[in-house]
Amino acid sequence: MAERGKSVLREGMEKAPSSVEDAPEEKIIKALMNDFPTAITDFKKLRAGVVRAKIERRDLLKACKFLRDSLGFEHISMISAVEYDNRFEIVYHISSYAKRMVVELITDTPLDDPTVESVSSVWGGANWHEREAYDLMGIKFNNHPKLERILLPKDYLYHPLRKDFQGGD
Amino acid sequence: MAEMWINMGPQHPMTHGLWNLRVKVDGETIVDAEPEVGYLHRGIEKICEDRTYTQIIPITDRLCYGSSLTWSHLYCLTVEDLMGIEVPERAEYIRVAAIEMQRIASHLMWLAAYAADLGAMIGFIYTMRDREIFIDLLQALTGSRLTYNYPRIGGVAHDTPPNFERDSLRACDYMEKKLKEYEDLFDGSKVFMMRNVDVGKLKKEDAMNLGITGPLLRGSGCNYDLRKDMPYSVYPEIDFEAATHPDGDCYARYRIRMDEMYQSCRIIRQAIQKMPKGKWRIVAPRNAPAGTGLGRVEDPRGEGMMYIVGNGTDRPYRVKIRSPIFVSVSAAKHMLLGYKVADVVAIMGSFDMCIGETDR
């Protein structure tokens, strides 16, 4: 343990591997493809350190557990819900401290049934992100410990980030 | 003893903004806690859907009055990612120097509020005085004191003013001297140490699982600083160190922020010296292509993140903002359990709460 009053300072970061075969993004994609051959329908390397993968709704929780336990993604950064003309898209940004990577995991739900499995049992930090998505976009998360409105009053009637919400009185 | 719920807030000296902390106490000991936020929800994400990309910059400034520049910088970074724009090098250096000044100003404001919370009023006066130096520098650079509207998509709004380099270097020299004074003032204060050391412990595994970032995470011994680990802008060109502390208590978080101010002085000095001559802004297209942009920065309070969906028009289809404090405050319970009611002020003070970005 460091002496009190002095914090530990770290020298410059290690160099990231440069060759294409060793690129960590490819490894993540391969690992995901191996375990979820049918679930992953679309994947690509977006930019350095960011991988995008699409996953079926029913496999979401399994894939998240796999990401945490086998691939070391110990941290969820953000959950965003986006409404399109024909679907809701729920985007999970899952990051790893050791690998310095972000996985952008996307799952779709139909407009008339916006429910997905909650991942707050996998990452405790997902709890409030999911409550926010419920509050503002009306996405229902199954098995969430406390799915209540968080930013808006409890008796509010609308989900304001939906495109049909116009505000006013 | 009978247990009962106490509301600390929305109007309470501890809260620093409008939010409510409900604590369940057994005598003086906290057995449960539940933060409530949302009092300052302005619907910024919805407002953004109705504005052009340039019009959103001043709105993102309003996310946090303490560090507005980092938020408008993050927004511009995300839109540049969406549009695929390269920013001139001079603009990147100006941005880095400016956001590090903002970081010092933000940390000093935190230190002022924290000192006042813990009864060290003298700390409040000194730190607020020295914060003015950096606010003045930013005012010379941008034209306003708190909400700057300075970064632009594709650069910054205007070049540095005359003598900016000289004044910045002087400010850094002055600040480093003053930081030593603060250390003497606070570390030498018995009351300050008693209220900080071993209070509000947060384990490293909890911090990682709960998604906590920034000084709270580094104070728990996890070495994760986006400026180092996923470098953006010109941070790879700059030599600095990320501070960590293994203890995970309020004192560790205080220590981290003090060390970050020293490092920020180093970064400003290098950014000023390495700043090349040339253009500071390119003209960005009005419309963004259909697609997504992702930006991540190390805000003074943690990891700020934005996700913007474009649809080919001049307005974003969806803007999602990840606020570091929104996540950290959801974990408040893990730090409060088992401590006394009097410790709430120190523990919640060490968060550096900013309600503007939490509620959006």
d(CA B7, CA A154): 18
- Name the nearest CA neighbour of B185 among B111, B257, B247: B111
What's CA A100's distance to the chain center, in Å? 15
Q: Rounded mean pLDDT of B167-188?
A: 89
Domain annotation covers residue A149? no
Q: Which residues of A touch B322 (CB under 8 A)?
A: 77-78, 93
d(CA B295, CA A23): 21
Concatenated DSSP letters of B75-117: HHHHHHHHHTPPPPHHHHHHHHHHHHHHHHHHHHHHHHHHHHH
Kindly list the domain boundaries of chain B, sorted by start residue.
53-316
Give the 3-state secondary structure of residue A59: helix
CATH number of B53-316: 1.10.645.10
Q: Tell me if ipTM is over 0.95.
A: no
Give the CATH number for residue A98: 3.30.460.80
Cβ contact B211–A161 (<8 Å): no
Q: Is A123 on the interface with B (CB under 8 A)?
A: yes
B323 to chain A: closest CA residue = A78
Least confident of A66-75, B102-111, B143-152, B214-223: A66-75
Contact B228, A100 (CB under 8 A): no
Q: What is the pLDDT of residue A4?
A: 44
User: What is the share, in percent, of chain B residues with pLDDT greater than 90?
Assistant: 14
B35 to chain A: closest CA residue = A150
A120 to chain B: closest CA residue = B210
Q: What is the pLDDT of residue B174?
A: 92
- Name the nearest CA neighbour of B30 among B244, B348, B359: B348
Q: Rounded mean pLDDT of A37-57?
A: 71
The nearest CA of chain B is from the CA of A156 a distance in Å of: 13
Q: Is B232 on the interface with A (CB under 8 A)?
A: no
Q: Is the peptide bond before B231 cis (omega within 30 degrees of 0)?
A: no
* Rounded (10°) angle between helices A24-35 and A60-69: 130
Q: What is the pLDDT of residue B104?
A: 92
Contact B260, B107 (CB under 8 A): yes
Pair of tokens at residue B313: 């028009």
Domain annotation covers residue A150? no
> pLDDT tens-digit profile of A125-162?
888 999 989 988 888 888 888 888 888 888 888 888 88
Half-sphere exposure in the Cβ direction for B73 (13 Å, CA) = 25
Domain annotation covers residue A73? yes
Amino acid at residue number B4: M
Q: Which of A78, A82, A132 sits opposite B318 (nearest CB)?
A: A82
Name the pLDDT band for B214 (thresholds 50, 70, 90).
Answer: confident
- List the beta bridge partners of residue A8: B244
- Name the nearest CA neighbour of B349 among B275, B250, B282, B273: B250
Q: What is the pLDDT of residue A169?
A: 52
Domain annotation covers residue A87? yes
Residue B156 Cα distances to B40, B145, B234, angstroms: 29, 17, 15
Q: Which of A12, A83, A97 sits opposite B208 (nearest CB)?
A: A97
Q: What is the pLDDT of residue B249?
A: 87
Q: What is the pLDDT of residue B348?
A: 87
* In chain B, residues 172-191 whose CB comes closer than 8 Å to chain A: 187
Domain annotation covers residue A43? yes
Domain extent for A130: 24-142
Q: Which of B228, B230, B326 sits opposite A49 (nearest CB)?
A: B230
Domain annotation covers residue A101? yes
Count up the domains in chain A and report the number: 1
Q: Rounded mean pLDDT of B149-153?
A: 89
Domain annotation covers residue A153? no
Domain annotation covers residue A132? yes
* Rounded (10°) angle between helices B250-274 and B164-187: 160
